[in-house]
């Protein structure tokens, strides 16, 4: 009965349109009342869920990403991507993907990537005769790359949801090869779609112009090396690197580029505060929900259930992936990480899956969910930027969606794609 109350009330509240944070909090509160536990337990768990030092990295990475968008760093990175790959078939489509790699390396946010890169690339692609659905779909699916490469704040959330036992530096490193593999898969898909539709290529600007564009983008690229190199080497923690990222972004946009105005600074600050408040409320309420799952021994029961279905790790990973893909269609990523990690991580570990490898699978899988209706947050952003309906985008998104699913299968069943690079730094 207690599980029925927990999940039943959660699903009911979700279906009637209640914000996810309140769904988690109210269902936890009702279950605690039924169990006869002190109601204050819910608030204690909520408080402990957000009182984690590593969470300090999230608001600062969000803040630094917004400063970079408003301070012209994103435009310079897109220009560099254009000079490097614009001459390939599909021209601006290839630029879109490479720009997502570059900007994802400084923002760590799929929504920020879709907004920044989409805002710059979609109008240009439309003006050059590219289909708006092609532009939006590449922007939407390409934004998943930001979740895989440093400084992905969703990797930090996963580490915390796993009890803080997993190294954030290892997670940052583990996502690099899968992220680049996803970029390659999307570029191949973009090439074939562009070839079928007859889209043009761009003129190569020449080595001299490429050098000038590269020099202009160097400050943004340095930040990528600063974040990853500092965390990986142990010079500073993820939280400290996030603070350094904000200071660096301010110095570059104010003193070097001189593009950040006072009004843009205020908007970036307010936006970061709002986003942080929403994320932390979801994490806190999900912590209460997760504690109840552990209290009711749901992970243990699920391990026993799956062991009864099969003793083959390949089958178990397939079942977990399917379950996560379904969940990702109607819930946002942050709460799903906090909710599903305590449930599925013990199952995966029981079948010999490394927790770092599982983290990469989880983040990529739920990232695909961000591109899937009805609650695909990044899909909404991309469609809003391109001013097209979700239905219009979904009719032609399948080549890019298929590329992402193919990479998910490769990452799931070839652990070395995630684990080889972290092993080289130990």
Structural tokens at position 360: 């990469």
CB 317 within 8 Å of CB 353? yes
* 206: alpha, beta or left? (left if phi > 0; alpha if psi -120 to 50): left
CB 151 within 8 Å of CB 242? yes
Most confident of 101-110, 217-226, 234-243, 248-257: 248-257
Structural tokens at position 256: 């070097």
Longest dimension (CA), the chain: 73
Looking at residue 418, its pLDDT comes to: 93
DSSP H helix total and E strand total for the chain: 23, 0
pLDDT digits (tens, 9 = 90+) for 157-179: 898 888 778 888 888 889 999 99
Most confident of 127-131, 134-138, 384-388: 134-138
Distance (Å, rounded) from C-alpha 87 to C-alpha 111? 27
Best CA proximity match to 113, nearest among 19, 186, 54: 186
CB 253 within 8 Å of CB 260? yes
Quick check: helix, strand or coil at residue 312? Answer: coil
DSSP string, 10-35: HHHHHHTT--HHHHHHHHHHHHHHHH
Task: Specify the residue for token string 């240009």.
Answer: 124
Q: Band of the pLDDT at 410, cuts 50, 70, 90?
A: very high
Question: Over pLDDT 70: what percentage of the chain?
Answer: 94
Distance (Å, rounded) from C-alpha 185 to C-alpha 402? 9
Q: Band of the pLDDT at 200, cuts 50, 70, 90?
A: confident
Quick check: helix, strand or coil at residue 311? Answer: coil
Spatial neighbors of 403 by CB under 8 A, at least 6 apart, are: 141, 182, 185, 186, 188, 189
Is a pLDDT exceeding 80 seen at residue 1?
no
pLDDT digits (tens, 9 = 90+) for 84-106: 777 777 777 888 888 888 877 76
Looking at residue 375, its pLDDT comes to: 63
Tallying the residues shown for the chain, one arrives at: 426
Distances (CA, A) of 262 to 14, 59, 87, 253, 408: 39, 20, 38, 11, 42
pLDDT digits (tens, 9 = 90+) for 349-372: 888 889 999 999 999 999 998 888
State the number of CA atoms in the 13 A half-sphere of 411 facing the CB: 29
Q: What is the pTM of this model?
A: 0.81
């Amino acid at each position: 009965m207690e599980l029925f109350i927990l999940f039943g009330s959660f699903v009911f509240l979700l279906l009637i349109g209640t914000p996810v944070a309140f769904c988690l909090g109210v269902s936890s509160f009702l279950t605690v009342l039924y169990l006869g536990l002190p109601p204050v337990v819910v608030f204690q768990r909520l408080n402990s869920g957000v009182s984690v030092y590593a969470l300090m990295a999230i608001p600062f990475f969000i803040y630094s990403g917004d400063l970079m968008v408003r301070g012209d760093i994103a435009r310079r990175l897109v220009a560099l991507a254009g000079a490097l790959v614009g001459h390939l078939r599909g021209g601006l489509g290839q630029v879109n993907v490479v720009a997502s790699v570059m900007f994802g390396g400084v923002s760590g946010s799929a929504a920020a990537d879709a907004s920044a890169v989409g805002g710059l690339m979609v109008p240009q692609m439309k003006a050059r005769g590219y289909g708006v659905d092609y532009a939006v779909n590449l922007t939407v699916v390409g934004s998943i790359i930001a979740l895989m490469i440093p400084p992905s704040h969703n990797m930090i959330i996963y580490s915390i949801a796993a009890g803080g036992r997993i190294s954030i530096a290892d997670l940052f490193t583990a996502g690099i090869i899968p992220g680049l593999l996803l970029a390659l898969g999307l570029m191949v898909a973009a090439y074939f779609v562009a070839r079928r539709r007859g889209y043009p290529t761009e003129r190569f600007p020449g080595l001299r112009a490429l050098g000038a564009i590269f020099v202009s983008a160097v400050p943004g690229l340095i930040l990528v090396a600063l974040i990853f190199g500092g965390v990986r080497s142990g010079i500073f923690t993820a939280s400290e690197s996030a603070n350094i990222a904000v200071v660096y972004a301010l110095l570059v946009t104010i003193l070097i580029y001189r593009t950040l105005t006072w009004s843009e600074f205020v908007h970036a600050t307010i936006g970061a505060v709002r986003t942080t408040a929403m994320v932390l409320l979801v994490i806190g309420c999900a912590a209460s929900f997760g504690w109840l799952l552990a209290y009711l021994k749901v992970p243990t029961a699920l391990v026993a259930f799956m062991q009864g279905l099969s003793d083959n790790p390949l089958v178990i990973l397939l079942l977990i992936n399917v379950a996560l893909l379904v969940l990702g269609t109607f819930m946002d990523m942050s709460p799903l990480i906090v909710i599903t990690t305590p449930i599925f991580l013990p199952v995966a570990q029981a079948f010999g899956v490394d927790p770092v490898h599982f983290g990469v699978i989880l983040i990529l899988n739920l990232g695909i969910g961000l591109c899937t209706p009805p609650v695909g947050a990044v899909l909404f952003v991309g469609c809003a930027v391109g001013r097209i309906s979700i239905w219009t985008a979904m009719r032609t998104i399948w080549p890019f969606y298929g590329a992402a699913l193919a990479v998910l299968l490769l990452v799931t069943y070839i652990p070395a794609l995630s684990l080889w690079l972290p092993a080289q730094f130990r």
